[in-house]
Amino acid sequence: MSQAVKRIADSKFTLSALMGPQDANSHGNVHGGIIMKMADEAGALVAMRHANAPVVTVAVDSMTFLEPIYVGSLVLCHAELTYVGRTSMEVCVKVVAENPLTGASRNTNQAYLVYVAIDPEGNPTPVPELVYETPEEELGAAEAQERQNYRKHQKSKSSLTHERPTIQSE
């Protein structure tokens, strides 16, 4: 059953996968799109665990690839909430590439993604409040709020409009 107030720890999650030849680009390193998809899946799972509802991605902040990831690496996407609004949730995803033979690991990416919980009609629906347990979490939430204000500002300046998706009934 969904709780009214939850902690960041209640939904944090790590998605991991061993990179194989099917994940390679034409240079033989892992394709950036594979990492972006994993990061989005990890973030969405955190948001779903918090909301106990389906979610859609509404924003992905710039994702910089600091270092290549090689086939044979274990990729770990560590994802946790930073902030929740009424219906939206910001998740920080940190990507780590580990050499399973040596245990050596490298931080390769970090990104912030925003999800919105939706009801069966595809409309935004309220999510549980988030309680911050440490000064670091409080600071992270304040920074996330600033990023969210900036995204809203950018959205208000955009000339793009959208239609809400139609939810298909089975």
Interface pick for ligand COA out of 77, 81, 111, 114 (rule CB under 6 A):
114
Measured between alpha carbons, how far is 89 from 74 in angstroms, rounded to an integer?
A: 27
CB count within 10 Å of CB 163 equals 6
48 touching ligand COA, by CB under 6 A? no
DSSP string over 74-107? EEEEEEEEEEE-SSEEEEEEEEEEE-TTT--EEE
**Closest CB to ligand COA among residues 37, 152:** 152
How many of the chain's residues bind ligand COA (CB under 6 A)?
19
Binding residues among 52-71 for ligand COA as defined by CB under 6 A: 56-59
Interface pick for ligand COA out of 28, 86, 121, 133 (rule CB under 6 A):
86
Measured between alpha carbons, how far is 17 from 154 in angstroms, rounded to an integer?
A: 34
* CA atoms within 13 A of residue 58's CA, in its CB half-sphere: 21
37 touching ligand COA, by CB under 6 A? no
Contact segment (CB under 6 A) with ligand COA among 20-28, 31-39, 51-59, 94-102 equals 51-59
87 touching ligand COA, by CB under 6 A? yes
Residue 43, SS3? helix
116 touching ligand COA, by CB under 6 A? yes
Shortest gap between Cβ of 62 and ligand COA (angstroms)?
13
